[in-house]
Copies of this chain bind each other. A is one copy, B any other.
């Protein structure tokens, strides 16, 4: 157990490569491809035709290479997906600057994450399969943590706070997007779809004992088109309110082991 536990050999090769931890062996022919080119091609495909269009053979075709060539750079498709997501994240927003409130910094952080999902919606369909270990994912986490650096939250609470935010941003945009897309498959325009859904849902629950939903439908909110970030902002404000209150509380009641 002397050294085996301390090395990073459990990391997939391609992830290590993304961290720049892969020695280039001199032997053998020069690689015609590169991890970066493969990831870029896959992102291009996903941006254009959606995540379902990202198959190993299509990515290879995009590069003019054979399917199996990709497996010299990536052990499994799953790794490629992780690297695609990491690449579109890019560098995180800067942490709380001098004089910026924790709330403002976290608000920036959350909206920056939202912007990534808006720019590359397929990201939301890549399943999370483990802790953040890719470079940009780790850096985003760092940036969030650092904005909480001046507070008296415990280290654990800081992590939980960042996790809370990140889970919310991803989750809300994911449902909102899927709902919108389901609507668009039913009707041509957004409003058409919404009103079809509203009326059909109204009919569906007509005889049922669902008064709260019926009131919501009657109020017309479902078919109504609000400003684009309405739902996102409402939830985010509630969360930031809660975090703010807790940060203030912790300032007055510091944890013993902090």
A158 to B205, CA, bound (A): 18
Contact of A245 among B130, B139, B245 (CB under 8 A): B245
CB distance from A22 to the nearest CB of B (A): 13
Label chain A's interface by main secondary structure: helix
Count A-side interface residues using an 8 Å CB cutoff.
Answer: 78
Instruction: Tell me whether A138 and B231 are in contact in the complex, defined as CB-CB below 8 angstroms, given that A146-B212, A200-B10, A241-B246 are known contacts.
Output: no
Neighbour of A128 across the interface among B5, B164, B178, B204, CB < 8 A: B178
- Beta-carbon nearest neighbor of A177 in chain B: B128
Nearest Cβ on chain B to A207's Cβ, whole angstroms: 10
Number of copies: 2
Q: In the bound complex, what is the Cα–Cα distance between A163 and B163 (angstroms)?
A: 18
A164, chain B: closest CB distance, angstroms: 4
**Known contacts being A155-B221, A171-B170, is A129 close to B178, with CB within 8 Å?**
yes
Do residues A167 and B216 form an inter-chain contact, with CB atoms below 8 A? no
CB distance from A45 to the nearest CB of B (A): 19
Contact yes or no, A237 B231, CB < 8 A: no
Q: How far is the CB of A80 from chain B (nearest CB, A)?
A: 17
Residues in B neighbouring A57, C-beta threshold 8 A: none
CB of A98 within 8 A of chain B? no
Residues of B within 8 A of A148 (CB): 212
Cβ 8 A contact of A164, one of B211, B235, B240: B235
Any chain B CB within 8 A of the CB of A100? Answer: no
Q: Are A204 and B8 in contact (CB under 8 A)?
A: yes
Give complex CA distance A175, B167 in Å. Answer: 8
Are A200 and B8 in contact, with the CB atoms below 8 A? Answer: yes
When the two chains form the complex, which single residue of B127, B160, B183, B231 contacts A231, counting CB atoms closer than 8 Å? B160
**In the complex, are the beta carbons of A219 and B163 less than 8 A apart?**
no
Q: Are B205 and A138 in contact (CB under 8 A)?
A: yes
Given known contacts A130-B179, A131-B197, A235-B167, A156 and B204 CB-to-CB distance under 8 angstroms: no
